Chains A and B, each alone.
Chain A
């Protein structure tokens, strides 16, 4: 089975639900991407950038103490956190900037949640000398101030978005509006396997280097395929990146970990696959967090990168096909897992990645001493250090107030942080 079909459908999902103005640009992009896939010169240049600029291949490490702690399961960590800019996002932005140049587009725009995709886009744009505007929800601008400054250092303009929930989905709305207006000379680099065709398939393609490397590496170090592959799922780019190589290996379980936020039953989470219904957002059909009237519900996660009410259409399809297993981790569980990996393995993962780590601990115990588990460490936690510090201070304060442990959310940075200031259109200067 070859998915998606020519119009970008994965069963009932995917497709192109966009204003007419964009359809010709999407056709052009599809054609350029298809041609590039067959062009050895393009492949060579991308490989050169991935190795000599981004630092690929990333290593596959053994989480020995974590494995022993879980009862002897062998746990392999795919170290995307070691990529240049700190996450897997650079795999995609380098590919898309090359495509933009191929199409003669002179300006780059992007949306970003945690800021990792924004930083990766700003980096690729800087490398090719292209002007770059990054749309970012005003709330995320506040939560991820460090990444905002990194983007500005890289010469990008960060545009805070004040509409809606002021997070990733609103940043994407605004980026689409910019693209509709400036489509002639602008390429829009979507950071996830979401959006209209060809983005879900194209981004998966650029990210599939993760799974291709990991599959070969695990065969080399362990002599067999893993029992399960674990990745966190927001929009789903790191998950599709590592899963894609294993989809045909029916014996390998694919486990996607969504953000349960304050808990799945609180309604404050980012678990579109587990708790959403199919619908149309940002140009494609997939599972969405929405109310009974079809209005999109704001997601919640402690990690800005998982704070998205939708999910890539291919993951929706894999879920319906029974190929994808779903798990969740709450804000608290992610924070615990982050600290655990830091102390046990000497790796501070991104808050997004920490959701996968939390589920991996459980899975490792379930698999037992003969198990072999592959975890995608999609990004590193440097960007989250300020937020982690605030969270741990708040946890300490909560403990001294003798709150019963466990049930209350340990941190709610969104509620406690001051409302975003009325940001000027540009925050080129440091905020």
Chain B
């Protein structure tokens, strides 16, 4: 069997060739319904996103701030499940080659069945998984199962991570490493920590895969600043906020596309 194409690696190479950090965008699957969230993900791709994160809602999202909590509540209210998120990913995959990372909490994945979920990821063209409440220590069997299917498992590092934990996460990481910019939950912030550059530098030095920085990045100026120190920049809550502002689906998609394009332009400056 030929391995699936490494779209993640290709995305980082392409960004680096054009002299830019990769732009990673987040939308919540099923917010406020599946069809709208599909169009929002595609709008991100049209605006120049290099990797599309699609959130899978959970009733008790301990790593998320108010914006993404509310998006998750809307998604659950519209009946979004793991199965529908996989269908959503498949629909996005049909329409764009941009790599897809599903992001969510571990319990719905366990309830769906780990192997069944990973098979679904392969069938839907999902490239990577980000599960913030599944640290490397608890992911031993899941890592093996994901690796055997060519699905990347992205681990998170934080400003509080010790050198030993940085090493462990880098050794376990496939695809990329996700560095959380601030101690805290997801959500746009007015400023980022002063020592972010030094911390990211240390992780990049140790990591065999690209390092993206997320949590708190919400404006083109912040994206540009973070793009200078990292291989990629994640923008989530600021996009989710623009979706939540409402309007017809087309108007929302255009708003999201324009915002993502402004982020992409800022990264190339």
Question: CB within 8 Å of B: which residues of A?
Answer: 7, 15-25, 27, 163-164, 169-170, 173, 176-177, 180-184, 277-283, 288, 290, 292-296
Contacts and interface: CB of A to CB of B under 8 A. Distances in A.
B69 A21 contact: no
Contacts of B169: 20
A213 to B, nearest CB: 36
A177 B156 contact: no
Interface of B: 58-63, 65, 69, 76, 81-82, 105-112, 132-135, 137-138, 155-162, 165, 169, 180, 183-185
A294 B59 CA distance: 9
B107 A281 contact: yes
B165 A23 contact: yes
A24 B160 contact: yes
Contacts of A24: 160-162, 165
A279 B165 contact: no
B108 A19 contact: no
A185 to B, nearest CB: 11
Tell me if B's interface is mostly helix, strand, loop or mixed. Answer: loop
Contact of B180 (A15, A17, A20, A278): A20
Tell me if A's interface is mostly helix, strand, loop or mixed. Answer: mixed
Most buried by A among B65, B106, B159, B183: B183
Given A177-B62, A180-B63, A280 B183 contact: no
Contacts of B109: 294
- Give me the 5 closest cross-chain CB pairs, A-B, nearest first: A294-B111, A294-B108, A21-B158, A181-B184, A295-B59
Given A21-B159, A24-B161, A282-B62, A16 B107 contact: no
13 contacts: A7-B137, A19-B133, A20-B165, A20-B169, A21-B184, A23-B160, A180-B62, A280-B106, A282-B62, A283-B62, A293-B82, A294-B107, A294-B109
Given A18-B62, A20-B135, A180-B62, 11 more contacts: A17-B135, A19-B62, A19-B132, A20-B165, A24-B162, A164-B60, A177-B62, A279-B107, A280-B106, A296-B60, A296-B107
Contact of A17 (B69, B76, B138, B183): B138
Nearest to B184: A181
A21 B81 contact: no
Contact of A180 (B69, B108, B111, B184): B184
A306 B157 CA distance: 35
Contacts of B180: 19-21
Given A15-B138, A180-B63, A296-B59, A20 B158 contact: yes
B60 A173 contact: yes
A15 B107 CA distance: 14
Contacts of B106: 17, 280
B59 A164 contact: yes
A23 B161 contact: yes
Contact of A293 (B108, B132, B134, B161): B108
A181 B137 contact: no
B111 A21 contact: no
B62 A294 contact: no
Contacts of B132: 19-20
A135 B162 CA distance: 29
A302 B156 CA distance: 40
Contact of B133 (A164, A182, A283, A295): A283
Contacts of B110: 278-280, 294
Most buried by B among A7, A20, A184, A279: A20
B183 A184 contact: yes
B158 A294 contact: no
A281 B60 contact: yes
A175 B169 CA distance: 26
B37 to A, nearest CB: 17
A293 B185 contact: no
A184 B138 CA distance: 24
Contacts of A294: 58, 82, 107-112
Contacts of A164: 59-60
A169 B60 CA distance: 8
B62 A176 contact: yes
Contacts of B158: 19-21
Contact of B135 (A16, A176, A290, A292): A16
Nearest to A298: B59
A7 B139 CA distance: 13
Contacts of A177: 62-63, 65, 185
A288 B155 CA distance: 25
B76 A18 contact: no
Most buried by B among A173, A282, A292: A173
B157 A20 contact: yes
Nearest to B69: A163
B174 to A, nearest CB: 16
Most buried by A among B69, B180, B185: B185
